[in-house]
Structure formats: structure tokens, C-alpha cells
Amino acid sequence: MLVMRLLQQPVLSLEQRIKQEIEDNPALEETTDLADPDEITDETTPDSIDGDEDSFADEDDDHSELKADNEFSYEDYLDLDDIPDYKLVSNNRSPDDEAWESPVVSGVSFQEYLLAQMGVQKIPDKEFIIASTIIGNIDESGYLTREIPALINDLAFNQNIEATEAEVLEALKLIQSFDPPGIAARTLQECLLLQLQYKIDRTYATDLAEVIVRYYFDEFSKKHYEKILQKAHITEEELKEAIEEITKLNPKPGFSISEEARSSQYVVPDFVIAINEGEIELNLNSRNAPELSINREYVSMLQDYNHKKKKISSSEKAALTFIKQKIDAARGFIDAIKQRQETLYVTMKAILDYQKDYFQTGDETRLRPMILKDISNKVGLDISTVSRVANSKYVQTPFGTFLLKSFFSESLQNQMGEEVSTREIKKILNDTIEGENKSAPLTDEELEEILQKKGYNIARRTIAKYRKQLRIPVARLRKEL
């Protein structure tokens, strides 16, 4: 069903879908000036919408078909002039809305950036081709993901070039001298070493950091600092300074090149929540959905045929059939857009009412356990419809912009027998770990004990599960000097 397909599209995808529909259907057009906007508000929004029914059936019931004598009934098409504009227009914004567009800045990929640097190098054609092949196999993090023997085979089969391992390594060494430092490394250890080697302002801590990465990387990655102190014969203060140097390095140098391109990627929220004088206001973001209407020229064509006194020819009947199909399709699409907007609104309004304490304060511990069925029962929509609304939709709040489905969570019981949201528990777990003594991080068993004292009945394996979902490493890897 068209409404269901449109419902699962976020606002930017919807914009492209509408543009495509306008291109495909000449009976559909974008309206720039509306006589009577049909605003979506609490008063005009229905309490429930069944996604499987046509809530605009009253408009479509009168759609005419070919009569038995193959003549059209024009009335339902020619009386468009008597139908209020709001029934022919999908109004997706208020006339008071500020016209606003977000410019998208095109960024440069790191491959292009590296090729540009190679372009100023005076190197033989063969080495240039080898280096270009290497650059083409660098992943977005800035690492060379292909083995040297595989690169040699690629050059032989794709470029008809016989290259030795020494030649490939020489070209790789050239690329590794490019900006940013650490690019084209094959391992994290090599990436860090390259960055340390190319440091200009060197200190004892820099030299010691290079020694640690080169000879004690395994101990360093596992945070076995005592072993490093013993093997390197250094003091704890010297080790601390060296580790500080290492933590300043970039483990993914490719990302730094494409930072400008990534910064141009932004989330366009589908809903905007604001607090005005203590009252919560909910609005749909409809700036990417233009107002749509029926093309009046198509109505005029029907009028011209209707004014003819003689019986129309078979070719004219074919033209009328085409016009009717396009008008029907345009009406159906406008209705689907309006129903999408209304369904989005009533669903988000139900979520807002359900989580009112959170949206008033921004305190995640005040989030109630909420599943799709809770909202489905509240608004009278199928669970699948609520899922479509929650998926890939963002809501902008005074506390940040969030994925809508992140507000849905299962529940656990505390020691008082009350149901609490798993997101509340994750928040407390995260805060507890952030406040721990990093020289002696809390183990999962200790975290379990702390949460038990706070009144949360939670097992150690559940602690480990939530910690992994929060992307927090085990205690040993959180240790700092």
C-alpha cells in the first residue's frame, strides 16, 4: 500500500520520492501559493488512523468509470472548481514557516586527496600505476586492506604490469609519507609508528612512545603496564607521559581527510519538540515535503471534451482514459501524503504523552518502559504501522536529536517491584563507569553489586550485555595510570 511505503521513509527520502512522482505524473504539481492551508493540529488530527483503510474514501467514492456505452461521466472531474483547495492539496507546511534550505558541502575523499599529492611527485609511470592501485585499496579508515601478493596479482591481471614485491613496497612507502601521517598502514601498530616517526617536535616522551609501540605493543594494547615498566626499565611517570603521546595519535587517519565531507552530512529530524513557557509543543518537520495539487490544465482538457456536442472518437477516449488515470493517481498520492503526515503526528503525540516526564526534563532515568504495542494500543494503529513510524525517524528535542526507536525499551523490575526501563539502567551503568577510579576500574561483579544497592535486580551477565551494547570495554581495558 502506498501509505505504508511512504510512512517508512524519512523526510529526506520522502523529498526525493515526491520529486520522482511529480516527474512521472504530469497531473501532479507543486503548489507555491495556497489559498486555504489545512494545518495538522491537535484539533484536526483524528484519534486513530487505520493504515489499511482509505481515510479519504469519501472523496474517491464518486470517481467515475467508463459507462456501459463507453462514455465518460465527467462530473466528478469537472467539478474540481467547486471543491475547496484544501481537498485537492497536500499541505505540509504553514504559510508562516520560514523558507529554509540546508546547503550540502561536497567533500573530498581521501583517495582523491592522496592522488592529488601523488600528482606533484616526479615518479615513473610504472610506479605511478602501482601507487594508484594501492590507493584504490585503502579503506575509509585509511588502512591498506589488501596483501602485497594480492596487489601484485591485481597489477598483472588488471594493468598488465609485472611488479616485484620490492617495487610495491617502495610505492607503499611513498604513499605512507603523504598527509595525513599514518595513512596506508596495514596494521594499527604500523599506523601509530608512522605517525610517531613523522613527528617534527620530538621529545623523550615521543621517543619512548615509539619504543613502546614498536617493541611492547601487545602489552600496551592489553594495558599490562607493569610488564612494560619491568621490560623497558622506565618509571611510572615516564610511562604515563609516553602513553599520553600515544593517545594523541589518530588510529583512523582516513577519517581526518574526509572530515569535511562527513560534517556536511546532517540528520534532518521528522519531528521537532520545543518547550514554550513550560508547555511541550510538537511539530512535524515538513520543509522537505512541498504542497501538492491537481494540475488544472488536465481538468481543462476534460472540460474541452465535455463541451463537444458530438460523440468522441476512440482516440479521444484513449486520451480521456489517460487523463483520468493520471488525475486518480495524483489524488491518491496527495491523499497518501496527507495520511502519512497525520499518522506520523498521532504516533509521535502518543509517544510524547507516554514519555512526558522525560521530554519535560531530558532526564533519561525518567524514561518509562515502552514497547511498540503500548503505542499501538494508544492510537489504534497496527504494531507494524507504529514500527514503520519509529524506524529511521528522528525527533529534535531541547536535549538533542534522537532516533525515535531509541525511546522504546523493555522493562525490568526493581526491588520495589516497580517496572523500570532498561535504558534507565544503562544510563546509571554508564554514569557509574564514567565516575569510577580509572586506576582501578570496576569489574562486572562490582557493577552488579553497586546496581543491586541502588535497588536494581540485575545479574552480572546482564551487566556485561548492557556494557557491550554501550560499547564499554571490560575493566582491564579501561585502566589508566
Res 79 pLDDT > 70 = no
Q: How far apart are CA 434 and CA 133, in angstroms?
A: 44
Among the listed residues 11, 4, 18, 7, the one whose alpha carbon sits nearest the alpha carbon of residue 285: 11
Q: What is the mean pLDDT of residues 30-36?
A: 52
Whether pLDDT at 60 is above 80: no
pLDDT tier at 54 (50, 70, 90 boundaries)? very low
Q: Which of 163-167, 178-182, 383-387 has the highest mean pLDDT?
A: 163-167
In the chain the domains, ranked by start, together with CATH numbers, are: 2-94+269-384 (no CATH), 110-257 (no CATH), 410-478 (1.10.10.60)
- 10 Å CB burial of residue 184 (0-12, 13-18, 19+) is buried
| Nearest partner of 87 among 341, 333, 293, judged by Cα | 293
pLDDT beyond 80 at 465: yes
Average pLDDT in the chain? 77
Q: Which pLDDT belongs to residue 190? A: 95
Rounded CA gap, 402 and 387, in Å? 16
For residue 29, the cross-strand partners are 293
End-to-end CA distance of the chain: 60
Write down the pLDDT at residue 413.
61
Distance between CA atoms of residues 24 and 16, nearest Å: 12
Mapped onto helix, strand or coil, the DSSP state of residue 107 is coil
pLDDT at 309 exceeding the cut of 70: no
C-alpha distance from residue 285 to each of 247, 254, 259, 368, 394 (Å): 41, 34, 27, 25, 10
| C-alpha cell at position 444 | 562486572
Local structure of 282: helix, strand or coil: strand
Q: Is the pLDDT score of 165 beyond 90?
A: yes
Compute, in degrees rounded to 10, the torsion defined by CA atoms 395, 15, 33, 23. -170
pLDDT of 225 strictly over 80: yes
Residue 134 burial (C-beta neighbours within 10 Å; 0-12, 13-18, 19+)? buried
> Among residues of the chain, what percentage have pLDDT more than 70?
76
pLDDT at residue 4 tops 70: yes
Q: Among the ranges 214-228, 367-381, 414-428, which has the highest mean pLDDT value?
A: 214-228
pLDDT band, very low/low/confident/very high, at 219 (cuts 50, 70, 90): very high
Mean pLDDT of 342-355: 90
Q: Which residue has the cell 563507569?
A: 433
What is the average per-residue pLDDT within 67-89? 44
Which secondary structure element, helix H or strand E, spans residue 273, and what is its range?
strand 271-276
What percent of the chain lies above the pLDDT cut of 90?
A: 24
Q: What is the pLDDT of residue 412?
A: 67
Residue 374, all three cell numbers = 503500548
Whether 39 has a pLDDT exceeding 80, the answer reads no
Q: Are 253 and 182 in contact (CB under 8 A)?
A: yes
The answer to whether residue 200 scores a pLDDT higher than 60 is yes
CA angle 446, 450, 451 (to 5 degrees): 120
Out of 215-229, 259-273, 333-347, least confident range: 259-273
Cell of 276: 514554550
Q: Among 68-77, 189-198, 295-304, name the most confident range.
A: 189-198
- Cα angle 472, 474, 480 (rounded to 5 degrees) comes to 90
What does the pLDDT average to over 448-464? 85
Confidence of residue 108 (pLDDT cuts 50, 70, 90): low
State how far Cα 451 lies from the chain centre. 33
CA-to-CA separations, 86 to 46, 116, 171, 274, 449, in angstroms, rounded: 17, 55, 66, 28, 61
Residue-wise pLDDT tens digits, 369-418: 888 888 989 989 888 888 888 877 888 888 888 888 888 876 666 666 55
- Whole-model pTM: value is 0.50
pLDDT at 263: 46
Q: How far apart are CA 441 and CA 163, in angstroms?
A: 51
pLDDT of residue 74: 46
Segment of 107-121, 279-293, 335-349 carrying the highest mean pLDDT: 335-349
Q: How large is the average pLDDT for residues 106-120?
A: 74
